[in-house]
């Protein structure tokens, strides 16, 4: 069913039960026509997803649940053993990622908005996925963002591994004035990328580990609200994308000890049109984004493409767009953006992952679906 058909068939669509939306679109691309079809439905505000080795998918739901989706698209029951979340606003159960040694240890990491004294903040931890996939056993918290704050915005967060025994977590700066201005300060975790060992301890070579008054977990700072992240499989570099205010969504290559400028400089302006900080786009000592979007796309989940199914996409990064309801492809050449291609899906895209079959899988937040995108006529994964 096309989007046009859906618009014309409102009388029918109103009668469909929850989870019965069936996405079926043909998308034009520079690589040829693509089919975008429902792979799984019936999810509730999905936020993050991760493929398991056998092709099943772990999906987090913002309200605090996580489920397994089978390789044929069947959605399972809630997985037990997850932490309590402060669900509300932008908070809830957020990202999910597999330990690089998952095949041996079955360790699954998640981030969530954690309630506590003084409000809430982003936390991270892991559990062992049971053999039947029904539970996360022995859940262990490895990180809590400090300070807690009584708000419901800008928790971040994405989890990225560097393949060298380290865990990177992108964090938000909690949005409100004046707390957002602390993203530039090193005595807190607001608006930071933190780097940890897999057990949550601090690596001895973190940039501020010996600096008095600085949080030793910090790897980079001056971020706004990180919503996408991925490791480039070709270079091994860590990348995060973040929301700007009114303009200025950023894609950043993450450097050790670097300042990314928020809330002193920005390619955007405040929502009321007033300047951000100094009113400038950059400043001495600030690491500029590799790419920025003005107007914003509402940058969300991010992945690099290295499969053979669509050779023309190799090396590209893909980004979910919450505001534009698009999937955006950046053509990457030597670490720079050489071009852009957009696919209008008409859905808020919360996450995007490359599947084991080489197709792209996106989380459509509002309709609670996973949509598979692949060349027209290619075989489905299930």
How many whole angstroms separate alpha carbon 236 and alpha carbon 222?
Answer: 23
Contact (Cβ atoms closer than 8 angstroms) between residue 196 and residue 142:
yes
**pLDDT, one tens digit for every residue, the chain (382 residues):** 333 233 323 233 333 334 456 899 999 999 999 999 999 999 999 999 999 999 999 999 999 999 999 999 999 999 999 999 999 999 999 999 999 999 999 999 999 999 999 999 999 999 999 999 999 999 999 999 999 999 999 999 999 999 999 999 999 999 999 999 999 999 999 999 999 999 999 999 999 999 999 999 999 999 999 999 999 999 999 999 999 999 999 999 999 999 999 999 999 999 999 999 999 999 999 999 999 999 999 999 999 999 999 999 999 999 999 999 999 999 999 999 999 999 999 999 999 999 999 999 999 999 999 999 999 988 654 4
The residues near 213 (Cβ < 8 Å, ≥ 6 apart) are 186, 187
Please name each of the domains of the chain with its CATH number: 41-300+307-321 (2.120.10.30)
How many whole angstroms separate alpha carbon 189 and alpha carbon 158?
Answer: 14
Can you list the positions of beta strands (E) in 62-135?
65-69, 75-78, 93-98, 107-116, 119-129
How many whole angstroms separate alpha carbon 170 and alpha carbon 228?
Answer: 8
The tokens describing 318, both together, are 């893909």
The number of beta carbons lying within 10 Å of the beta carbon of residue 99 is 18
Active-site amino acid positions = 154
- The DSSP secondary-structure symbol of 335 reads T
Best CA proximity match to 38, nearest among 51, 19, 54: 19
Q: Computed from CA positions of residues 131, 133, 137, 140, in that sequence, does the dihedral angle turn out positive or negative?
A: positive
């Amino acid at each position: 069913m096309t989007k046009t058909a859906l618009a014309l068939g409102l009388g029918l669509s109103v009668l469909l039960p929850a989870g019965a939306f069936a996405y079926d679109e043909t998308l034009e691309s520079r690589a040829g026509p693509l089919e975008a079809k429902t792979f799984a439905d019936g999810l509730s505000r999905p936020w993050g997803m991760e493929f398991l080795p056998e092709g099943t998918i772990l999906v987090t739901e913002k309200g605090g649940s996580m489920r397994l989706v089978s390789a044929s698209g069947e959605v399972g029951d809630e997985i037990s053993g997850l932490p309590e979340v402060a669900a509300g606003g932008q908070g809830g159960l957020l990202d999910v990622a597999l330990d690089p040694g998952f095949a041996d240890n079955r360790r699954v990491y998640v981030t969530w908005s954690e309630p506590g004294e003084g409000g809430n903040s982003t936390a991270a931890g892991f559990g062992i996925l049971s053999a039947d996939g029904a539970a996360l056993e022995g859940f262990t918290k490895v990180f809590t963002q400090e300070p807690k704050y009584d708000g419901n915005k800008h928790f971040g967060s994405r989890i990225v591994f560097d393949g060298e025994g380290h865990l990177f977590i992108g964090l938000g700066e909690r949005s409100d004035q004046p707390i957002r201005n602390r993203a530039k300060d090193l005595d807190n975790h607001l608006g930071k990328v933190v780097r940890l060992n897999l057990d949550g301890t601090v690596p001895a070579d973190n940039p501020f580990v010996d600096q008095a008054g600085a949080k030793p977990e910090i790897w980079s700072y001056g971020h706004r609200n990180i919503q996408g992240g991925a490791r480039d499989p070709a270079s091994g570099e860590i990348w995060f994308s973040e929301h700007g205010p009114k303009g200025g969504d950023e894609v950043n290559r993450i450097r050790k000890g670097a300042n990314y400028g928020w809330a002193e400089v920005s390619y955007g302006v405040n929502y009321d049109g007033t300047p951000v900080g100094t009113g400038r786009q950059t400043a001495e000592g600030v690491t500029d984004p590799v790419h920025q979007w003005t107007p914003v796309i509402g940058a969300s989940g991010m992945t690099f493409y290295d499969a053979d199914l669509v050779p023309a996409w190799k090396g590209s990064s893909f980004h979910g767009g919450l505001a534009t309801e698009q999937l955006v492809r950046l053509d990457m050449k030597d670490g720079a953006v050489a071009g852009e291609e957009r696919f209008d899906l008409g859905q808020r895209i919360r996450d995007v992952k490359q599947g084991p079959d080489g197709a792209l899988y996106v989380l459509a937040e509002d309709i609670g679906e996973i949509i598979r995108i692949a060349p027209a006529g290619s075989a489905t994964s299930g």
